[in-house]
Structure 1
Amino acid sequence: MKSRGTFLRIAGAALAAGALTCVAMVGMPQDGGTESLAAQPIADEGPGYAVEDFSYPNADRILAEKKIKLKSGNGHILLAECNGAPELMEIFPLKNEKVCFRVTGDKGYLSLEIPSVFGVKGNSYEAQVAMSTGSEHKTFNVDKNAWTAVGETADEQGRDFMLLEIRTSK
């Protein structure tokens, strides 16, 4: 009996292999060439590639409505409603209303442009802001959970500074 079971397994495997060969042969070109086996495009143009450029979502609408130019970031510093919540970072420009950001994750980065910034209220994260006036660039460390003078209020000459970057870490 043992040899009969082995014979049936071998015969079954041979039949399956033969069936696969038959199916493969039916799909072969009759002239023996492989020209028709090459992959053919289904449509004239395939879908585009998804490439993350880290652009800030809805930046054009935010610029039009709030006069804040949000360029790009890693998604861990997000514009938020200023509601007094202690976890928000608050930015104070001279020529605009206070701007707030919610910070998440271990490290955050945001490239932006807010003119005439003079103060920042930090949250529980370590934070630095990069600013410029004319061709001069300065970086200010932001105190945790406290107000920090930056830009015009921290400058001996009282010059107007634009906020360019926010970097945070836990």
Structure 2
Amino acid sequence: MRKLTMTAALIAAGATILGGAAAALAEAAADESPQALVEDYTYPGAAQVEADRGIKLIKGDGNIMLADCGADPNLPPADVILVQTTAVGSPDKTNHCFKATGASGVLSMEIGEVYFIRGEAGRTVGAKVETQDATPVVETERVDPGEWQPIGVGQGRGDGTLLELRYPYVS
């Protein structure tokens, strides 16, 4: 009987040790699992774009992206949104093109000295602009497909800073 009791005690002790080891392994595995990915919609490569081009791209949904203006930056393809500024420098400092994809899109930014925005063929875009009038005003301009929308000094007003491009346009 004594041998049976001793065997039962050893089995119980072994089970306790194995149970503790299994719990420790499970906890270690949980600690090593990948962290959840949280999308903050920050524009990829924004710091480099700001250093190279002097424009600040903040965040968006990925459906409006900075694009190449083509061989002639003063006359880019019709399938891009063109933002023109009065900034001094080469065409890549004054003309900024954006490619829009999908049914909707948004990109927040800060592009100063904007005076014209040309709409992309095929979609109407809302351009949120801060104009430095006597009292600064933030308003959304409608930019129709292929049309040139004057902004800020292009309207005979103060400097305009483009804060956001968004489509579809909602008044």
Q: TM-score, normalised by structure 1?
A: 0.74
Tell me the residue number matched to 1:57: 44
Deviation of 1:43 after TM superposition, in Å, equals: 8.6
How far apart, CA to CA, are the structure 2 residues paired with 1:29 and 1:85?
Answer: 75
**Would you say 1:133 and 2:131 are equivalent positions?**
yes
Tell me the residue number matched to 1:162: 161
How far apart, CA to CA, are the structure 2 residues paired with 1:140 and 1:52?
Answer: 29
- Give the SS at the match of 1:49: coil
How far apart, CA to CA, are the structure 1 residues paired with 2:17 and 2:55?
Answer: 66
Task: Tell me which of 15, 36, 47 is aligned to 1:30.
Answer: 15
Tell me the residue number matched to 2:79: 87
**Would you say 1:105 and 2:90 are equivalent positions?**
no
- Give the SS at the match of 1:51: coil
User: 2:139 is aligned with what amino acid?
Assistant: K
Conserved in 2, the CA contact under 8 Å of 1:29 and 1:36? no
Query: What is the root-mean-square deviation in Å for CA atoms of aligned residues?
Result: 2.5
- Give the SS at the match of 2:15: coil
Tell me the residue number matched to 1:115: 112
The range that moved more, 98-107 or 34-43, is 34-43
Q: TM-score, normalised by structure 2?
A: 0.74
Conserved in 2, the CA contact under 8 Å of 1:70 and 1:112? yes
Conserved in 1, the CA contact under 8 Å of 2:126 and 2:168? no
Deviation of 1:33 after TM superposition, in Å, equals: 8.0
Deviation of 1:42 after TM superposition, in Å, equals: 4.3
Cα separation, partners in 2 of 1:63 and 1:31, compared to 1, 3 Å? closer
How far apart, CA to CA, are the structure 2 residues paired with 1:46 and 1:142?
Answer: 47
Deviation of 1:143 after TM superposition, in Å, equals: 1.7
Question: What's the CA shift string for 1:20-65, capped at 9, x where partnerless?
Answer: xxxxxx9x94348843332231496653321101011111110000
Number of residues paired by the alignment? 142
How far apart, CA to CA, are the structure 1 residues paired with 2:38 and 2:105?
Answer: 20
Deviation of 1:97 after TM superposition, in Å, equals: 1.4
- Give the SS at the match of 1:40: helix
How far apart, CA to CA, are the structure 2 residues paired with 1:93 and 1:146?
Answer: 16
- Give the SS at the match of 1:37: helix
Tell me the residue number matched to 2:90: none
Unaligned runs of 5+ residues in structure 1 are 1-25
Question: What's the CA shift string for 1:5-29, capped at 9, x where partnerless?
Answer: xxxxxxxxxxxxxxxxxxxxx9x94
How far apart, CA to CA, are the structure 2 residues paired with 1:44 and 1:77?
Answer: 37
Conserved in 2, the CA contact under 8 Å of 1:88 and 1:100? yes
User: 2:57 is aligned with what amino acid?
Assistant: L
Conserved in 1, the CA contact under 8 Å of 2:60 and 2:108? yes
How far apart, CA to CA, are the structure 2 residues paired with 1:44 and 1:144?
Answer: 52
